[in-house]
Structure 1
Amino acid sequence: MEALLSSTFTVAIAEIGDKTQLLALILAARFKNKTAIILGMFLSTLINHFAAAWLGQWAINWVSPDVARYLVAASFFAIALWVLIPDKIDVKESRFYKMGPFLATFILFFIAEMGDKTQIATIVLAAKYDSLTMVVAGTTLGMLLANVPVVIVGHFSADKLPMLWIHRACAMLFALLGVATLFV
C-alpha cells in the first residue's frame, strides 16, 4: 500500500506544471470530447509507466542492494533539482490532431512522457518498491489526478497557480524521498 500511495502522491505533485499537464490543457482546448482525451491519457500513461516500472525493477536486479539504495537516492535528488526547472511545450499545430481526440492524446502523451520527470520518477519508484503493479497503478493515478481536472476545466490556466511554490514543494518531496531511501 505504501508503494501505491507514495507513487500516486509523488507523480501527482510532480505533474503540476509539467509539459504533459500543459499538453492536457492544449488538447482540452482543441477537442470537445473530454472522455476520449481522458481515456487516451489513461491508456498512454498506463503503458508508458508499465514499461518504465518494469525497466526500474529489471535494472535494480543488476546491482547490489547497497549500490541500488545509493542509485535510487541519487535519482531522487536529481529529480528534485530537475523539478525546479519549469517545462514548456510547443503549441504548434500537431499532425496527430487529425486522428481525433483519443489517438491524438494517446500518441502525444506517450511521446511527451518519454524521458519526462514523471517517467523517470516511475523508474525510480519501481526500483525502490518491490511492487510493479502498485507503482504503475499509483503513478497512473497520480497522472490522472493532476491532468483530468485540467481537461475537464480546460479554460483554467496553470498561470493562476503558485507554480514556484509548487515546484519547490515537489523538489522538497523528492529530496525527502532521497533521504528516506538512504536512512530508512
Structure 2
Amino acid sequence: MLPEFLIQAATQVKGALTRQGQRLVLAESCTGGLVANLLTSLPGISEYFCGSAVVYRWDTKMKWLGVKPETLEEYTDVSIETACEMALGVLRQTPEASVAASITGHLGPDAPQQQDGVICIAVAMRTVPGFDSPPELFTVKTFQCDALMEEMPLDIQTGADFTLRQHRQLAAARQMLNLILSALEPSA
C-alpha cells in the first residue's frame, strides 16, 4: 500500500496540474517508477499525466532520453548534469507534455561513499505552448535522502517493514513531487 503522505503529495501535484492546465512527463531512475505509480493511483490523472520513462541504466538514459555518453562518463548518473539532460530529453520526446521532471541517484547499499543516498532532481518546462517551443530548465537540485527522511511522518521513519533503500525511495519520491509542485505553483 502506498503511504498516505505520498498520496497527499501526488494529489497536490494533480491539483496544480489541473489548475495550471499543464501536462507532466517523468524520467525516473532511482525511484523506479514510484512517482508515476503514485500519480496513476489518482482518478482522472490521465488528463494531466503523459507517462514515465524508467531509465535505470546508462544505456537506457542515452538511447531513450538522449543523455550524452560524455555527460555520464564525466559526471556519472548521480549528477545534476545527468538529471538536466534527462528532464530536457523526456520533454523533447513527449510533445503533449509541458512540464517534465527527472530523478537520478544512488540509494545504496554498496554505493560509493560520496554518492550514498544522493539524489538529483530536475524540472523542465516549455515556456511557450507547442512542441516547437524549446524546453527550459526550471530547477535542478541535489539532496541527501537521509536528511529528507527526517521530514517523513514518524511511523514511516521508524517502520520496520522498510529497508534503508526503500525509506530513501519514499523520501526521494516525496522530494520530486515537492519540486514539481513548486515549479507549477511557485508561491505554494
TM-score by length of 1: 0.25
Q: Which is strand-richer, 1 or 2?
A: 2
Q: Which has the higher contact order (CA 8 A, sep 6+)?
A: 1
